[in-house]
Amino acid sequence: MEYILDTADLEAIKHCNEFYPLAGVTTNPSIIAKENTDFWTLVKNIRDIIGPDKLFFAQTVQKTADKMVEEACLLNEKTGGKFCVKIPISEEGLKATKRLKQLGIKVLVTAIFTPAQALIAARAGADYVAPYVNRLDNIIGDGCYVVSEIVKQFNIYNLPCKVLAASFKNAELVHKCAVAGCHCVTVTDDILKAVLSHPMTDAAVEGFEKDWESVYGDKTILDF
């Protein structure tokens, strides 16, 4: 499973790109609006940090297929490097997806809440679908179960579409998606930190340091 960062906060992107095995960065209109800055400058800054080989996902804000295609082409051209346009699931969105596949532009169909939505998006040619895990849990759904059913469907029908699960509240949801065979998750920097942290790890490392220092003081292996 690949890890993608779900933010347009440049400091968080810089940090996570340095320390974590990131496959890319996802944004959406809410995430971009949160930064409240010039759109293309922000896109360029993100691209400069992650480089051309990591996937950059940006969402169209258009409502009709023709305009979605036009915006996707502009985003693809101006973003440079590996790019994938995000399109919310709808009739217009499916029409745009089919057209963009003919043009060779990668598409993620987003705002997915059911396996049926995911299947039809994949049939339209989506490269990725993004089910919203925590938002489903918030309405007493089971986001991870939906993710597992989408993965199962894609396997049954041998579809190349990848499941990029989004909307996470904690590390446990990320783990459940991994076990379900989800291909990618997009998460905030806080969730990434939670994924690698464990109090038992801290205790173990503290023990190693104490035992070493009791014999070798502040010397490290480099000093021998």
Active-site annotation, residues: 86
CA neighbor of 16 nearest in space, from 135, 180, 192:
192
Residue with the two structure tokens 């199962």: 152
CB of 28 to ligand G3P, least distance (A): 4
Kindly state whether residue 135 participates in binding ligand G3P, applying the rule CB under 6 A. yes
Residue nearest ligand G3P by beta-carbon distance:
167
Closer residue to ligand G3P (CB): 140 or 156: 140
Near ligand G3P by CB under 6 A: residue from 14, 134, 181, 212? 134
Closer residue to ligand G3P (CB): 67 or 135: 135
| Contact set for ligand G3P, span 90-129 (CB under 6 A) | none
Kindly state whether residue 167 participates in binding ligand G3P, applying the rule CB under 6 A. yes
**Terminal CA-CA length for the chain:** 40
Number of alpha carbons in the 13 Å side-chain half-sphere of residue 89: 23
> 118 vs 122, 145, 165, 217, CA distance in Å?
6, 13, 11, 58
Closer residue to ligand G3P (CB): 142 or 209: 142
CA distance 96 to 51: 27
Kindly state whether residue 60 participates in binding ligand G3P, applying the rule CB under 6 A. no
Cross-strand pairs, 110: 88
- Site size toward ligand G3P (CB under 6 A) is 8
DSSP 144: H
Near ligand G3P by CB under 6 A: residue from 132, 148, 165, 174? 132
CA neighbor of 131 nearest in space, from 65, 91, 176, 191:
176
Residues near ligand G3P (CB under 6 A) are: 6, 26, 28, 132, 134-135, 166-167
